[in-house]
Chain A
């Protein structure tokens, strides 16, 4: 049994007893023949760790804006056992590309709810401006040593949005070898999500209907995702550590975005086929809801190296991902941590990402051809490059808390394969390029 006492150094004790430490201090001073030593600065290792951040993410042209609060609390127990709890609250607003193409005239669409319509001006990229949601996500994790060289982690996650509910479980095990210079790890995660789209999930490849016509809407949908990760971490030298991971991800179920649709176009002009709206109002063109396979298998390889160079830290990583939707992607990420004095640093960050389009990516659907089984014009399944450039400034406060602010710019620019452009489409700007600003403030402290 161990008792622990921590008392304020200034606490007034009984004078007679206090004189013991005062007399001792004077006697020690005489013995060591030195002036008074610097006062002791010691504390028990903090048991609580708090890590909180505020994030602003904003896309230009009134697209998605997200204000996010994230907090993670860690509690350290005896024998290196750790409990961590996380909370994220996102407040999302703004507009997202609906998937329809630009037209020379104004376009009218039925809202996802099915009970109203909206009109996009001539020449504009059709955006769905009803995107408004609050997302609350929680995570819980437990980590403990398993034997002399093992570390076991288990976790739970759940998140809730207006139209989406996620629950997940994960577990991983890491084992150290070779004087703890090599760590081999394996992890598995399973998520079960349910989707309850506003107005119901549309039947894939059916047309957008008039206001108040819900005949092509289905009930709630489900999706399961299984992830498996294997990793090796290796210390190479005193200044270099590298990691390599292989991960496998299998998604099953409803993988569509229920709010995305494609324009059905004339095979010669490439313009959207007109449609006569009913008396309640409705789309003035023909639009079909997207259709994705109900299964997706992804493989990715990830490698990271961290190198310490005279106080600076170079962090480089590369990821290759390939999936059975025929998307291949490459991601290169570089960070350089550059200390400014003993307690602050600057960290420039550069990230390059490129992906090829999914096999079923289509800018629009050609009415002169048979409909494909799968089609989506979601720009995130298209062919694009993205660059992130950012700068982070971090510093330690006087009471040794860590603060940081980072500002990053994220920009996507994509191209639609020329073979997909029909008639007038070739002269238009078809790909919804994206520019976003990311500002994050983080605060970490321990008690």
Chain B
């Protein structure tokens, strides 16, 4: 998952905890192997190297693509699983090196869900296009693993994959899970969230940006323009019923740029926005 992953079990024995974490780890690795765009031989690799031919996908992949299509629609095209190739021209290393508009335009021709043909279970991409489920996969894995943990043990469990997390219920005695939201200085938890039920997810990375002539370019790219979303918050954390919902709401909020807070207010969710 590209980040430290942990499973916390409230109470019980070491053996019980080992059992739950083994089941969770197995599921997490299965999802990573299946949907990572860095691995050869998986379904993503097959789709991305099909060179214009239709690829038949399995039901689980199909449900993720259905989900991605819904997000594309409700975000008016801002959330797009085909936008990953934009990263071939954008490198967010804190420098002032912006790509040339020509280069951006060239890549933009290979971006856009409207160019894909999705007739479940057949997915056809134009040659040169790629999909990346990385924006959904981690949160999806957290929810899948939380469901597994709920079946494996009656003890309250927290699944935490690099800060995107879900709990299966309140700890013994209705105690809360306490989650710190990092402040600008590493390790200093600026806000502490008490969680009994549900999930938290964070989008954004304060360390990935470009800075040129006083303008800060966040690493959140708008696939419709090929440029970073202006005035995006440096991070957004959302609490929701599931990690998938929390993650998508925080991502959609980032894509709203300067309107992120307004968007979250309208969704009526508990959130923490850092600028």
From residue 171 to 194 of chain B, which have CB atoms closer than 8 A to chain A? Answer: 172-174, 178, 183, 188, 190-194
Cβ A42 vs Cβ B70 within 8 A: no
What chain A residues lie within 8 Å of B197 (beta carbons)? 38-42
Question: A13 interface residue, CB < 8 Å from B?
Answer: yes
A447 within 8 A of B: no
B192 near A44 (CB under 8 angstroms)? yes
Pick the contact of A40 from B178, B183, B199, B261 — CB < 8 Å?
B199
Tell me how far the C-beta of A181 lies from the nearest C-beta in chain B, rounded to whole angstroms.
Answer: 20
| A24 x B194 contact (CB < 8 A) | no
Assess whether B268 is interfacial by the CB under 8 Å rule: yes
Instruction: Please state if A396 and B174 are interface contacts (CB–CB under 8 Å).
Output: yes
The 14 sampled A-B contact pairs (Cβ below 8 Å) are A3-B274, A5-B264, A5-B271, A6-B270, A7-B269, A9-B269, A13-B267, A20-B74, A20-B75, A31-B67, A37-B242, A42-B197, A43-B194, A400-B174
**Cβ–Cβ < 8 Å partners of B172 in chain A:** 342
Q: Is A424 an interface residue (CB 8 A)?
A: no
For the A-B complex, the count of residue pairs with Cβ-Cβ distances under 8 Å equals 150
Interface string of B153-174 (1 = CB under 8 A from A): 0000000000000000110111
**Would you call B196 and A41 a contact (CB within 8 A)?**
yes
Give A33 to B244 CA distance when docked, in angstroms.
Answer: 13
Residues of chain B within 8 A of A78, CB atoms compared:
190
B242–A32 CB distance below 8 A: yes
In angstroms, Cα B187 to Cα A79, docked, is 11
A7 near B265: Cβ-Cβ < 8 Å = yes
Q: For the complex, what is the distance from the CA of A34 to the CA of B151, rounded to whole Å?
A: 13
Chain B residues with CB below 8 A from A39, complex form: 197-198, 241
Which of chain A's residues has its CB closest to B181's CB? A2
Mark out the residues of chain A between 294 and 324 whose CB falls within 8 Å of any chain B CB in the assembled complex.
none
Q: How far is the CB of A78 from chain B (nearest CB, A)?
A: 6
Cβ A30 vs Cβ B63 within 8 A: yes
Cα–Cα, bound, A14→B268 (Å): 11
Say yes or no for A25: interface residue by CB 8 A criterion: yes
Q: Which residues of B contact A275 (CB under 8 A)?
A: none
**Stretch of B83-91, B139-147, B210-218 on the interface side:** B139-147
Give the distance to chain B from A238, nearest Cβ to Cβ, in Å: 12
Contact B270 A17, beta carbon cutoff 8 Å = no
B193 and A45 contacting across the interface, CB-CB below 8 Å = yes
Q: Which of B22-30, B37-45, B121-129, B245-253 contacts A (4 or more CB under 8 A)?
A: B245-253
Would you call A19 an interface residue if the criterion is a C-beta within 8 Å of the partner chain's C-beta atoms?
Answer: yes
> Does B31 reach chain A (CB closer than 8 Å)?
no
B55 at the interface (CB under 8 A from A): no
Q: Which residue of B lies closest to A43 (CB)?
A: B194
Of the candidates A13, A40, A343, which one forms a contact with B241 in the assembled complex, judged by CB atoms under 8 Å apart?
Answer: A40
**Is residue B200 within 8 Å, beta carbon to beta carbon, of the partner chain?**
yes
Instruction: Contact check, A23 vs B74: say whether CB atoms are below 8 A apart.
Output: yes
Is the CB–CB distance between B195 and A5 below 8 Å?
A: no
B263 CB–A CB distance under 8 Å:
yes
- How many interface residues does B have (CB within 8 Å)? 54
> Which chain B residue lies CB-closest to A342?
B173
Max count, chain A CB within 10 A of own CB: residue among B197, B199, B245, B263: B245
Taking the closest CB of chain B, its distance from the CB of A412, in whole angstroms, is 38
Q: Is the CB of B143 within 8 A of A32?
A: yes
Determine the distance from Cα of A44 to Cα of B238 in the docked complex, in whole angstroms: 12
Interface centre among A20, A25, A78 (most CB of B within 10 A): A20
Residue A418 interfacial (CB < 8 Å): no
> In whole angstroms, how far apart are the Cα atoms of A14 and B263 in the complex?
10
Contacting residues, chain A, for B274 (C-beta < 8 A): 1-3
Asked if B81 CB lies within 8 Å of chain A CBs, one says no
Selected from A4, A37, A339, the residue in CB contact (under 8 A) with B191 is A4
Which residues of the other chain, A, contact B242 by a CB distance below 8 angstroms?
A: 28, 32, 37
Interface size bucket, A side? 35 or more
Given A9-B268, A19-B74: A24 in contact with B147 (beta carbons within 8 A) = no
How near does chain B come to A392, taking the closest CB pair, in angstroms? 17
A28–B267 alpha-carbon span in the complex (Å): 16
B266 within 8 A of A: yes
Inter-chain contacts of B33 with A (CB < 8 A): none
- Distance in Å from the Cβ of A121 to the closest Cβ of chain B? 56
CB distance from B45 to the nearest CB of A (A): 22
Apart from the given pairs A24-B245, A32-B143, 8 other A-B contacts in the complex at a CB distance below 8 Å: A5-B265, A14-B266, A18-B266, A20-B266, A28-B67, A32-B244, A42-B239, A45-B194
- Cα(A339)–Cα(B172), bound, Å: 12
Min CB distance B182 to A, Å, is: 10
Q: Given A25-B241, A37-B241, are A31 and B64 also a contact pair (CB < 8 Å)?
A: yes
- Residues from chain A with Cβ under 8 Å of B266 in the complex: 13-14, 17-18, 20
Residues in B whose Cβ lies below 8 Å from that of A32: 140, 143-144, 147, 242, 244
Residues of B within 8 A of A14 (CB): 266
Does A61 reach chain B (CB closer than 8 Å)? no
Contacts of B270 in A (CB 8 A): 5-7, 40, 42-43
> Considering only CB atoms, which chain B residue lies closest to A345 in the complex?
B173
Q: Is B190 within 8 A of A18, CB to CB? A: no
**Chain B residues with CB below 8 A from A91, complex form:** none
The B80-128 residues at the A interface (CB cut-off 8 A) are none
Question: Which residue, of A3, A27, A36, has the highest number of chain B Cβ atoms within 10 A?
Answer: A27
| CA distance in complex: A3, B144 (Å) | 31
The answer to whether A44 touches B191 (Cβ under 8 A) is yes
**Which residues does chain B contribute within 8 Å of A400, judged by CB atoms?**
174
- The residues in B between 42 and 71 inclusive whose CB is less than 8 angstroms from any CB of A are 63-64, 66-67, 70-71
The answer to whether the Cβ of A368 comes within 8 Å of any Cβ in the partner chain is no
B171: min CB distance to chain A, Å:
10
In the complex formed, the residue of A with least CB distance to B75 is: A20
Which single member of A10, A23, A38, A79 contacts B198 (CB below 8 Å)?
A: A38
Measured between beta carbons, the chain B residues less than 8 angstroms from A11 are: 268
The residues of A that contact B64 with a CB separation of less than 8 Å are: 31
Query: Which residues of chain A have C-beta atoms less than 8 A from B227's C-beta?
Result: none
Tell me if B273 is interfacial: C-beta within 8 Å of chain A: yes
Q: Chain B CB within 10 Å — which of A3, A6, A25 has the most?
A: A3
Chain A contacts for B195, CB-based, 8 A: 41-42
Q: How far is the CA of A23 from the CA of B245 in the complex (A)?
A: 10
CB contacts (< 8 Å) of A8 on chain B: these are 268
Question: Measured between C-beta atoms, what is the minimum distance from B235 to chain A in Å?
Answer: 9
- Contact present for A3 and B196 (CB under 8 Å): no
| B173-A343 in contact (CB<8A) | yes
B70 and A40 within 8 A (CB)? no
- Output the nearest chain A residue to B136 by Cβ-Cβ distance: A31
A215 at the interface (CB under 8 A from B): no
User: Chain B residue with minimal CB distance to A46?
Assistant: B194
Residue of A nearest to B140 (CB): A31
A6 neighbours in B (Cβ, 8 Å): 270
